[in-house]
Amino acid sequence: MRRLLPTILLITTIALLSGCASYTAREAIPNIDIPLTDRLELPVTKHSLIVAERQAAEALVQEASAQETIVLLEEKIEELERTVAIYEQDDTILVLQGQIASRQEIIEGQRDTIARLDGEIAALEQARTLLSDQLSTALVDLQRHQATEAEQRELLDDQQQRIAGLDDETTALGEERALLSFQLLAAQAELERQESVESEQRALLDDREQRIAQLSDELAALDEEHTLLSLQLLAVQADLERQETVESEQRALLDDREQRIAQLNDEITALLDERQALSGQLAVVNAALDEQRRIEAAAEAERVQAEQRQLLAQQQEAERQERERQAELARIEWEREQARLIPPLSQLRPPHRFIISDVVKTVAKGSILKTLLLPLSDVPWKEHEMVDSVAQSIADLDDPVIFITGAMENVTALVRRVGANAILLDGGAIITPLEVLEVSKDSVQVRLNGEQTLRLSLANLVEYEVFSAFLNGGEGWKETQQRITGKRLEHLLQIVRQGSIVEPTIVAGSLYEPSHQDWSSFSPIAYRQVDYLWPLSAAMEDEQFLDVYRLTHFSAGTDSGNTIALGEIKERVDYLFSRKVLPLFSTILPIGGESAPREGAVQRWGIAASLLIP
């Protein structure tokens, strides 16, 4: 508080000399003249003086802490010397080296403290310079405002005293730094001495280790010599013990022989007595055995008779089963003969199984299923060669599922010609070697493997009325299409909705109607450039079926995939649809004479596809 009094008096004097006019701080800004030193330092204020005093106090505390650390270091060095003296006769050099390293770390810490004290001394010197500059500025201000000489002297004295105090503190810190430096040098010298002592102790340890190694070698030689003597002594003792053992064994054998002779005499006497007793027992046992043999003979005779009766019963049962098996085989053969026959069309009632072979094939899970659709003419063939040409066109194919649509005369003729297992349905047939589980007039469920089944459906919706109206020109074909679609759509949905929606399903359909995906304003074919929603293909899409051909080709413009040619009209009216089965590939396939141009006849093409069974 005493140090702050001159500063307060100085500020009061400046305020009195500046006048008593009242003005705001904003108006006083132009009149404020803050002197700056060459180093652009801020002027001395009450806060700066308080901070300087606080820093000086912290420096004193740090100085005292440094002194305490030096005292502690000296105590530790003395303790280290005592420890070295105690362990001079022990093998604890490694522990001593660790302690020396620890002390070196402490010395390094003291070096850092000295460096920090040097920085604080430099800061105090800067504060001293700052106070000197502030004193000069205060003198100028006092002269400019004509302050009283007494106040100026008091202020100057106070500042000089403070500067003197700072000089004393700086000198004391310098002396303290010198003392710490001297102590550091002394500690380093002590460490060097300890290192020399350590090297001498290490040399002594090396000599001691060499002497110990020499003594160890000598001790090992003595041990070997002692071991050799011990072995010789043991050999002599073993020889003596062996001789004594032989003599004792001979004496024991003589004693044992005498005892054995006496024992044999006793046993002979006992055996003679036992022989007489056994002779009496033998007579009794022989009588019992005779009785037992008689009883066993009677039981064996009874067992043989029972086995003969059982064998006779088994033979009779086997003969009965053989008669039943022969009857069952005859029945199966009769059914096969009946199945190999296709009745006349007037008597044919779909579904009808046409079975040629008992061989059943399977399709592994995750494998590819090849499928073929053959849309035959809906007009019965007049040429007998037609069936041969169609059969020849697919002779090199081995597809496990072949759909056939068309007139039943043509379908049954091709089934007989192919000579494979088939199911005749309404409007066509399905040729497949897979195991058939259930059939209806439009659908077949087959077993692919031990885990999966597949539903195969067939739709043959013959209709030329729309085509005829379209060829006649005008817009009348649209009215015709709308008029006839109701029953056709109902029939198609009835076929495709058989079975579960989650069951893998393939539908082969000769719908006699284009796909709504083929007719659009972007079609390269002029008459197709109409965004017309053909209802049957759209309904299949609503039933979650995929159009196999369209899905596996780029576009209707580049891959139209026509399956029928009728006059100027060439359209894709035959389809393979799949649900829960993934289409991989499809192509349009010529089917013998059906695809050849014929005057006044409709040309047809088939579809071959590969699908992935999930």
Phi, psi of 421 (to 5 degrees): -60, 135
Global pTM exceeds 0.75: no
Per-residue pLDDT, 572: 95
- Residues forming beta bridges with residue 89, ordered by sequence position: none
pLDDT band at residue 60, thresholds of 50, 70 and 90? confident
Topology (CATH level 3) of domain 352-612: Deoxyribonuclease I; Chain A (3.60.10)
The answer, yes or no, to whether residue 88 has pLDDT greater than 70, is: no
CA angle 280, 281, 285 (to 5 degrees): 125
Least confident of 253-257, 347-351, 494-498, 580-584: 253-257
How does pLDDT run across 306-330, given as a tens digit for each residue?
888 888 888 888 988 998 888 878 7
Per-residue pLDDT, 110: 74
**Average pLDDT of the residues in 496-500:** 92
Residue 563 near residue 602, CB atoms below 8 Å: no
> Three-state SS string across 266-299, please?
HHHHHHHHHHHHHHHHHHHHHHHHHHHHHHHHHH
How does pLDDT run across 182-238, given as a tens digit for each residue?
777 776 777 777 777 777 777 776 776 776 677 667 667 666 766 776 677 677 677
In the predicted model, what is the mean pLDDT of the chain? Answer: 80
Q: Which of 159-168, 176-185, 340-349, 365-374 has the highest mean pLDDT?
A: 365-374
What span, in angstroms and rounded, lies between the C-alpha atoms of 573 and 563? 6
4-18+38-196 architecture in CATH? Up-down Bundle (1.20)
Least confident of 32-41, 194-203, 389-398: 32-41
> Three-state SS string across 20-75, please?
CCCCCHHHHHHHCCCCCCCCCCCCCCHHHHHHHHHHHHHHHHHHHHHHHHHHHHHH
How does pLDDT run across 450-488, given as a tens digit for each residue?
999 999 999 999 999 998 998 888 888 999 999 999 999
What span, in angstroms and rounded, lies between the C-alpha atoms of 523 and 256? 124
**Average pLDDT of the residues in 383-402:** 92
And the tokens for 217? Answer: 């070698």
Domain limits, CATH 3.60.10.10, in the chain: 352-612
The answer, yes or no, to whether residue 550 has pLDDT greater than 90, is: yes
The answer, yes or no, to whether residue 443 has pLDDT greater than 90, is: yes
Domain limits, CATH 1.20.120, in the chain: 4-18+38-196
